[in-house]
A and B are shown apart, each in its own frame.
Chain A
Amino acid sequence: MAKPILIALALMFLAAMVLLPVVAIFDRAFAEGAGAYLAAIRDPETLAAIRLTIIAAMIVVPVNIVFGVAAAWLVARYRFWGRRALLILIELPFAMSPIVAGLCFLLIYGAYGPVGAALEPYGIQLMFNLIGIVLVSLFVTCPFVMREILPVLQVTGEAEEKAALTLGANGWQMFRHVVLPNISWGLAYGTVLTMARAMGEFGAVSVVSGAIRGRTMTLPLQIELLYNDYNATGAFAAATVLTLLALVTLVLRSVLNRFGPNREAHA
């Protein structure tokens, strides 16, 4: 039968293409021993990069949650003119090269762009700093939260929400006690996805960050810098941090798929 052959082929492909590269990261990170690994992680520039990456993600994630919940509610519960165009617009960042995305931001918010030039007299600079990093991270993570919540809202329907309103709940109470419990799993997973992507984005951030050592280097940019400096242990040690984050998102996904409510919405 074809079954064992196909399983073997699938396993070989995944092992060679996906599993081995990840194992190689840890192999190279620990090539000079655990001491060198720990020293590389504690390098001040790498720590500064980790700090900046976390700060940026802490701004991006809440903003994206507010947008994602609002957009999902809007698209799931109302029919209005331009609804399909809105959906396409939200999905657009998925299809764009990160370099093209970064360039778009530079062309409008940079010093030579219309918005950037208008703000410059007031001493406001949007690119080559934390604001620029946050803006492009918002762009590349734009669909994540919304995508996870929308199918859940569509499956649960609005009966419970209308019941709550009939029983005298105001809008905020309905949201807190009816909508939020329903979407909590999707919201949690969307949040993790957004966080992982915001911390891991490379191309778009490299266009707008300015890459000032110790100041506007996010962790992925720091990895590139260390790698190009022939500091293999440093680069791969920094890479293990982001790899662990990726593995955590995968574990959460399987947990959600297996035990979470509304499994049909996530299948």
Chain B
Amino acid sequence: MTALARPQPRILPGFSLSMGITLLFLCLIVLLPLSGLLWQLGQLGPGDYLRVMSSERVLAALRVTITAAAAATAINGVFGLILAWVLTRYRFPGRGLMDALVDLPFALPTAVAGIALVALYDRSGWVGQLLEPLGIQIAYTWWGIVIAMAFTSIPFAVRAIQPAIEELDRDEEQAALTLGATGRQMFFRVLLRPLLPSILTGIGLSFVRSLGEFGAVIFIAGNMPYETEIASLLILIRLDEFDYPAAAAVAGTLLALSLVLLVAINVMQNRLQSYLRSEG
């Protein structure tokens, strides 16, 4: 019996083969390029890094990117929740089509999305035409950037919230209704609380995605320095000028921001879930 009780050797074959392939691929395709960025940043030094990052244009680009991403995320938070709710709870004709449409921004190449949004929102476009008499311009303004970011990141919000709605305890809702809860009480106390971790995850992912969005944004943004120039575009402009250190400084900042947010989302989700569970 002692022979059987010992930790089993790996029975299934293929460990070293699959480990070898995986590590080779990850080293060449993911780790080595990342170290390239770190290497360039290391050569830069903290003084030069601060000089690049404190320039007016870089700060303006970061401000435009972050504020537009925040606005797009706010839109996606509201409509992502509505879409996830409608798709999970209601059965109606056209639901399947609606479900597929949610994934379209994910499947559509970003450059295609970019020119499609311009075609819709510029002065001759179907929506742009309607808004122009009202004095509202979306294409080539900050709002254009918001629309493009909201477009590409809406699937992330919806798909993060959906599973949580599926897991909601319907008995609690029934109980709340029986006990005379108003619609508002129902929404805030019974529904929103257990959904909060996944809503925060959804809008967090949507925000990270918006920060890095490039293809969909540059066509509709207008790309005026200081006003409608996003950080990714500024990296590309510095690259075209062969100013690799400046490009690396902005890129490193953008990457660090995304990574910190991703880790924060992960930690927050775990903490909130265990907190909600402990409260019962």
Contacts and interface: CB of A to CB of B under 8 A. Distances in A.
Contacts of A14: 83, 98, 101-102
A70 B17 contact: yes
A114 B32 CA distance: 10
Which of B21, B35, B183, B258 has the largest count of A CB atoms less than 10 A from its CB? B21
Given A9-B82, A107-B244, A203 B239 contact: no
B103 interface: yes
Contacts of A47: none
Contact of B11 (A90, A114, A165): A165
Q: Which of B94, B107, B215, B236 has the most CB of A within 10 A?
A: B107
Given A24-B116, A86-B22, A223 B39 contact: no
A77 B82 contact: no
24 contacts: A18-B105, A22-B108, A24-B119, A74-B15, A86-B26, A89-B31, A93-B30, A97-B232, A98-B232, A100-B251, A103-B248, A107-B36, A107-B39, A171-B14, A202-B111, A203-B110, A207-B236, A220-B111, A220-B112, A227-B115, A236-B119, A242-B112, A246-B108, A254-B99
Contacts of A37: none
A34 interface: no
A10 B258 contact: no
Given A10-B86, A103-B247, 17 more contacts: A3-B90, A6-B82, A18-B105, A19-B101, A25-B112, A78-B10, A95-B212, A97-B251, A98-B212, A107-B33, A107-B40, A109-B33, A112-B244, A203-B214, A227-B219, A247-B107, A250-B103
Nearest to B117: A21
Which A-B residue pairs are the 5 nearest by beta carbons? A200-B109, A108-B36, A97-B212, A171-B13, A107-B36
A107 B92 CA distance: 52
Contacts of B254: 97, 100
Contacts of A139: 29-30, 33
A135 interface: yes
A243 B219 contact: no
A18 B98 CA distance: 10
A203 B33 contact: no
B259 A95 contact: yes
Contacts of A253: 100, 103
A95 B101 contact: no
A201 to B, nearest CB: 7
Contacts of B94: 11
A108 B39 contact: yes
B30 A89 contact: yes
The secondary-structure label for the interface of chain B is: helix
Contacts of B212: 95-100
A247 B106 CA distance: 11
Given A18-B105, A24-B126, A139-B30, A103 B86 contact: no
Interface of B: 10-15, 17-19, 21-22, 25-26, 29-37, 39-40, 79, 82-83, 85-87, 90, 92, 94, 96, 98-105, 107-113, 115-117, 119-120, 125-127, 147, 150-151, 154, 183, 208, 211-215, 219, 231-233, 235-236, 239, 244, 247-248, 251, 254-255, 258-259, 262
A251 B117 CA distance: 23
B86 A100 contact: no
Nearest to A241: B112
Contacts of A206: 236
A250 B105 CA distance: 10
Interface in A61-99: 63, 66-67, 69-71, 73-74, 77-78, 80, 86, 89-90, 92-93, 95-99
Contacts of B39: 107-108, 114
Interface residues of A, number: 91
Nearest to A140: B29
A100 B116 contact: no
A243 B12 contact: no
Interface string A218-259: 001101100100000001100100110011011101100000
Nearest to B30: A89
Contact of A239 (B12, B21, B99, B112): B112
Contacts of B92: 7
Contact of A18 (B12, B101, B236, B262): B101
B34 A104 contact: yes
B22 A71 contact: yes
B214 A202 contact: yes
Contacts of B103: 250, 253
A77 B11 CA distance: 10
A43 B272 CA distance: 56
A56 interface: no
A10 B82 contact: yes
A192 B56 CA distance: 43
A30 to B, nearest CB: 12
